[in-house]
Every structure is written in C-alpha cells, then in structure tokens.
Structure 1
Amino acid sequence: MGMSCFYLTLTQEKLDELKQHPGQVRQFIFAKNGSNDEAELFDLEKAWHGIQYLLNGATFGGDEPLGWAVFGDQEVSDDLGKGPARCLTAPQVAAVSAALQEMPASALAQRFDAAKMEKAQVYPEGMWITDGVQALNYLLEHYSHLQNFYANAAAHGKAVICFIS
C-alpha cells in the first residue's frame, strides 16, 4: 500500500478558522475529502518524496516557495498517523504555483541521481536504482500534475492543506 501525499484546497477563510481550531482539521479532511464540490483533492501518490528531493535537493524543507510545494509550511493539526497536516495560505499557494511554473520538468530530470536518492533514503526506497528511467518518468508525470493542481488552486484564490496518509 505505502504512503501517499494528499492536497486539499479550501478557502482562506476556512483555513483561518481551522488554524484557530486545529482539533477540527482531521474531521474536515476526512469528511470533506473529495466530497465537497468546492474542494479539490489531489493525490501525489508515492511521487511526493522524490519530487521534494528533486525540487529542493533535500528530503524535507528547502528555500521558499519551492520548499513549500510538497509538504506545505505551517503545521495545522495534530498527528494524523503519518505526521500533522500542513497548510499554505492563498498567497503562499500563488507563490508556489509561480515557482513551479518557472521550474521545467527538464530541470528536475537533470537533478535525478538514483544513487544519491537511495543514499538519502528518498521514499519509496529501492525503486530509484531498480526502475531508473521509469522511476524518473513517474516523477515527471506527477510533477506535471502537481504544477497543474497549484495553478488551478492559485487561479481560484484557494489555500491548501496537505497530509500524508
């Protein structure tokens, strides 16, 4: 099964409300998870850690705004089982979207080094060397979807909550 990274759009007003009541985040995520017509749910699948590494050269963090693209910024909940949910405000979403549009997939492809990714323990471990070009293509395909997700969220002035499940 494994771990996937999910992204859920919401209004800035709803994010502000959830920040005031972090105990309600779990219920919001799992109750609204794809069932709210106004919310968009996006699943980066198992590509999240590889994309994080290619964008930032690190397994976590990085310079803003690209450092926010995969894991978000501020924690907005308690541990959901695989860590807390994190969020991006609407202005942060716009900044991430712009930065992702300026980062072509070809630049990520040039950063792909299977041996370094294995050594850094980039999840899911084991596939970078064994799958090689197929693993890179998997990351680039999902990167394109991530760019589109953020572009759509930014175009609609949405905030984002991200979480691993």
Structure 2
Amino acid sequence: MGMTCFYLTLTQEKLDDLKQHPGKVRHVIFAKNGSSDDAELFDLEQAWHGIQYLLNGATFGGDEPLGWAVFGDQEISHDLGKGPARCLTAQQVAAVSAALQELPASTLAQRFDAAKMEKAQVYPEGMWITDGAQALHYLLEHYSHLQHFYANAAADGKAVICFIS
C-alpha cells in the first residue's frame, strides 16, 4: 500500500480551535471513522501528486488558490509520519473550489506528459510511462472527485485539513 492523501472537512470554529491546540489534530484525524459529526473524509488515493503536478506544473506549491488544492496551505500539526497535516480556512476552500470548477479536466489532460512527470519524480514513480493513457484516466477521474469534494465543502462553508498517510 502506498501513500494516499486524505481530506477532512470541519467547521471553521473547529479549525480555529485546532490551530490553538495542534496536539489535538492527530486525534481529530484518526478518530474520524467513529465520529458522529457531519465531517466528510475524502481519499484522493495515489492520484494526489499527479494532480498536484497537472494543476501547478510543480511537485509542491503553486499559485494560489490552485497551489492549495492538494496540500492545503498552513501546517496545523506536527509530523504525522508522512509530514504534517495542513489546512485551508473556509474562505480558502471556497477559493479552491471556484478555481477547480473553472479548470476543466481537458486542460489537465493537455498538460499530461509522462516523461516530464517521471523526470520530476511525481509519485507514484514508474506509473506515468508504463500506464500512459490509463494513468491519465486515473488522474482525471480523481480530479473530478476532488472538484466535487471541494464544491460540497465550499457549499457547506467548511474548512479542510489535508494529510498524507
């Protein structure tokens, strides 16, 4: 099993509390499965790094708000094993959602270059060239799910925590 990227919605008030108490982040993230609140947990699977690259032309970062779409913005926790969790405020979630809705999957498809992705060491390495069109389909399918996730979170006025596990 490889590294996957997860997203958890929460209220802006809960995010503000976690910013004041970063030690609680691990509990909130890993207690989600038994949680009774209205938080949504979304798994981008192993498409996260490929989508990041197609959105921003880089393996990390990028211009706001698309640069926030995969990894979030501000670090909110200590290292969780594969890096710290990062967060987006409800306002940032709305900006990311709007930017993703304006960017069609066909544009990402035009940016897909397996050789460049391999050279940039986009995770999971080796997949881009060997799987080609199938790898692109995988990314575009997950991009659609990411658009939907952010649209729902923005509509509900939610903040988001992003983390890799």
* TM-score when normalising by structure 2: 0.98
**1:66 and 2:66 matched:** yes
Aligned to 2:22: 22
CA distance in 1, matches of 2:57, 2:138: 18
* Residue pairs, 1:78-117, within 5 angstroms: 78-117=78-117
The answer to whether the 8 A contact 2:8-2:42 is kept is: yes
Aligned to 1:132: 132
CA distance in 1, matches of 2:84, 2:24: 12
Q: Identity rate of aligned residues, in percent?
A: 90
Judged with a 3 Å threshold, the aligned counterparts in structure 2 of structure 1 residues 65 and 50 are, in CA distance, closer, same or farther, namely same
Judged with a 3 Å threshold, the aligned counterparts in structure 2 of structure 1 residues 39 and 63 are, in CA distance, closer, same or farther, namely same
Q: CA deviation at 1:36?
A: 3.4
Judged with a 3 Å threshold, the aligned counterparts in structure 2 of structure 1 residues 124 and 73 are, in CA distance, closer, same or farther, namely same
The two structures, once aligned, show a CA RMSD in angstroms of 0.8
The answer to whether the 8 A contact 1:8-1:33 is kept is: no
CA distance in 2, matches of 1:109, 1:37: 37
CA distance in 1, matches of 2:150, 2:18: 21
Q: CA deviation at 1:33?
A: 4.1
Q: CA deviation at 1:32?
A: 2.0
The answer to whether the 8 A contact 1:72-1:161 is kept is: yes
Judged with a 3 Å threshold, the aligned counterparts in structure 2 of structure 1 residues 34 and 98 are, in CA distance, closer, same or farther, namely farther
CA distance in 2, matches of 1:34, 1:87: 21
CA distance in 2, matches of 1:37, 1:52: 29
Deviations 1:132-165 (A, max 9, x none): 0000000000000000000000000000001000
* TM-score when normalising by structure 1: 0.98
Range 23-32 or range 70-79, more displaced: 23-32
CA distance in 1, matches of 2:36, 2:49: 27
Aligned to 1:144: 144
Aligned to 2:4: 4
The answer to whether the 8 A contact 1:6-1:163 is kept is: yes
SS in 2 for 1:162: strand
Aligned to 1:54: 54
CA distance in 1, matches of 2:105, 2:90: 24
